[in-house]
């Protein structure tokens, strides 16, 4: 038996024979004499690639949901990116190179730029650039290779898998996949999670595994090649239990989040962009408790305009069809950096110039976002939440800018809906003055990740401090309880949107504290609902 370890994308078990996928390298000619012909070849290949991607989008909508199918819409847009297209055209014209060579070269240049970025999400986009470049090159070289059909279920093992390759697989036969390359933030990993496929990345693989029986153990982040009978029986039983558990959770859709004694709690979802809304609806969340709007900025090469932001907020509000959508104003800074902000280098960025501190000193940025949010409020149930608040003055200043934007829009004849305003409780300072803050807003949302970091004085980005990081620390739990008590004195409702919201070992504790709402990742909704419905607070 051979055992290889990696990073798990999804906790689950897959058992079947390995199908090793090896990509054929396209043979690319170099110098050409007819530049115009190569330019025309590129345009035709680009159009064909976009047609293929539209077909993949339609397939992914059915198999993975519209939010994840959006990956292929992004790929279609990437192929129309002015910088990318111009770079290819200039290589053909100036260097007298073939269209295939130009696409491959430009693709590698752009992919390397993404790969060198600090932000993990943007770094993972390098794989998307390589995917679309390879698609166009394969069209140009006649090397369109798909996976061979298989008569029996299989586990794919490959050096890497592009999103398009993942979607093209026969899902009725695909049990799981293992790759040597890739990241947990890659679109391929996202697709794997959306389709509930156990997968490992970062695994040392071998072509000799082809055709052999294997087990992916997503719980222990490993793959077993030619497992012994005892291990096979043990993990097969676990696989069957997982299937039964998922089926039971699906039965909870449409059911209320009510304890055995009749206590009800709102159960919302956290998202980072429009593409996540499908999962929110699919998992039956009551609303969106945290829309991390900073991802709009992180995915942009320059400050997103008011109109660009409005289109996004409006789409989310409309998709949620009257359900609450709480949008946090941008939380740039600390571990989330965008070069065009030109933020100064700081020794302690988590304690530095970030979030509301940027907004209150850069009204041009802040007002563009607030105007977009106010305009979107006419199309749904939108609430606005300010992050990293440590004083009443900050709340009053933020509300004053919001009111200024409101007056401007009304004067322009723009319709505005009713909006609740709230703040994030992320610092001990906010907890200590929670009663004063509650008098100024409609709701609190406790960001337990940062609250734990600042309470324990532990950098949560530093892996060497993991043994000391305790999100269940009594001080953290007391601060949450103190916040709830203070807020309720002013009829200010309180939610939790940090990782602890999905920690079912604390659900009963939070309910006893009087927490009004939990906002978790979409995939955790039904599991938290199951826990809520099993609790009896009168016992």
**DSSP conformation class of 514:** T
Distance separating alpha carbons of residues 164 and 146, to the nearest angstrom: 10
List the one residue out of 182, 160, 29 whose CA is nearest residue 99.
29
Check if the beta carbon of residue 333 is closer than 8 Å to that of residue 343: yes
Please state the length of the chain.
Answer: 539
Give the residue numbers marked as catalytic.
Answer: 187, 497
Distance separating alpha carbons of residues 251 and 39, to the nearest angstrom: 55
Residue 199, CA distances (Å) to 2, 141, 149, 180, 184 in order = 17, 31, 20, 11, 10
Furthest-apart CA pair in the chain: how many Å? 84
Alpha helices in 153-195 (DSSP H): 163-168, 187-194
Three-class secondary structure assignment of 223-287: EEECCCHHHHHHHHHHHHHHHHHHHHHHCCCCCCCECCCCCECEEEEEECCHHHHHHHHHCCCCE
- Tokens at 239, concatenated: 């696989």
List the one residue out of 131, 137, 108, 132 whose CA is nearest residue 29.
137
Taking each helix axis as running N to C, give the angle between helix 126-141 and helix 35-64, from 0 to 180 degrees, rounded to the nearest 10: 120
Catalogue the long-range contacts made by 118-125 (C-beta closer than 8 Å, 24 or more residues apart): 118/337, 119/298, 119/336, 119/337, 120/183, 120/185, 121/185, 121/295, 121/298, 121/299, 122/298, 122/299, 123/183, 123/185, 124/183, 124/185, 124/186, 124/187
- Tokens at 360, concatenated: 């209150």
Distance separating alpha carbons of residues 4 and 205, to the nearest angstrom: 8
Only one residue has tokens 């001080």, namely: 475
Distance separating alpha carbons of residues 265 and 473, to the nearest angstrom: 24
């Amino acid at each position: 038996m051979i055992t290889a370890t990696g990073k798990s994308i999804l906790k689950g078990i897959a058992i079947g024979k390995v199908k090793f996928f090896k990509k054929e390298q396209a043979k690319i000619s170099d110098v050409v004499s007819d530049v115009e012909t190569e330019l025309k070849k590129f345009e035709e290949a680009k159009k064909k690639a976009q047609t293929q991607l539209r077909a993949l989008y339609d397939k992914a909508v059915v198999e993975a949901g519209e939010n994840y199918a959006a990956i292929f819409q992004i790929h279609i847009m990437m192929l129309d990116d002015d910088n990318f297209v111009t770079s290819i055209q200039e290589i053909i014209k100036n260097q007298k190179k073939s269209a295939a060579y130009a696409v491959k070269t430009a693709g590698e240049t752009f992919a390397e730029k993404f790969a060198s970025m600090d932000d993990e999400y943007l770094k993972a986009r390098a794989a998307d650039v390589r995917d679309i470049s390879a698609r166009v090159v394969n069209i140009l070289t006649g090397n369109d290779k798909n996976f061979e059909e298989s008569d029996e279920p299989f586990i794919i093992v490959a050096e890497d898998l592009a999103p398009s390759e993942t979607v093209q697989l026969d899902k009725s036969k695909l049990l799981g996949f293992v790759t040597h390359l890739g990241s947990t933030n890659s679109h391929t990993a996202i697709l794997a999670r959306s389709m509930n496929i156990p997968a490992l990345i970062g695994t040392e693989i071998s072509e000799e595994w082809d055709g052999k029986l294997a087990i992916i153990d997503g719980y222990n982040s490993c793959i077993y090649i030619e497992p012994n009978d005892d291990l096979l029986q043990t993990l097969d039983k676990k696989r069957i239990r997982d299937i039964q558990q998922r089926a039971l959770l699906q039965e909870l859709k449409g059911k209320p989040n009510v304890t055995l004694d009749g206590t009800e709690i709102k159960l919302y979802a956290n998202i980072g962009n429009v593409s996540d809304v499908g999962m929110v609806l699919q998992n039956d969340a009551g609303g969106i408790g945290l829309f991390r709007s900073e991802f709009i900025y992180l995915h942009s090469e320059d400050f997103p305009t008011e109109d660009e932001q409005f289109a996004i907020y409006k789409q989310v509000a409309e998709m949620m069809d009257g359900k609450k959508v709480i949008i946090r104003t941008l939380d740039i800074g600390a571990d989330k950096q965008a070069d065009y902000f030109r933020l100064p280098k700081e020794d302690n960025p988590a304690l530095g110039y970030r979030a509301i501190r940027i907004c209150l000193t850069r009204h041009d940025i802040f007002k563009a976002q607030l105007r977009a949010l106010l305009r979107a409020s006419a199309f749904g149930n939108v609430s606005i939440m300010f992050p990293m608040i440590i004083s009443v003055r900050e709340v009053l200043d933020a509300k004053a800018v919001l009111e200024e934007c409101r007056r401007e829009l009304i004067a322009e004849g723009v319709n505005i809906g009713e909006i609740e305003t709230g703040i994030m409780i992320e610092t001990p300072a906010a907890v200590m003055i929670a009663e004063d803050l509650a008098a100024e807003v409609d709701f609190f949302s406790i960001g337990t990740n940062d609250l734990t970091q600042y309470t324990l004085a532990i950098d949560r980005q530093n892996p060497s401090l993991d043994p000391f990081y305790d999100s269940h620390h009594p001080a953290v739990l007391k601060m949450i309880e103190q916040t709830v008590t203070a807020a309720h004195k002013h009829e200010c409702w309180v939610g939790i949107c940090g990782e602890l919201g999905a920690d079912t070992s604390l659900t009963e504790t939070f309910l006893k504290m009087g927490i009004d709402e939990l906002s978790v990742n979409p995939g955790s909704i039904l599991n938290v609902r199951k826990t809520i419905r099993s609790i009896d607070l009168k016992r």
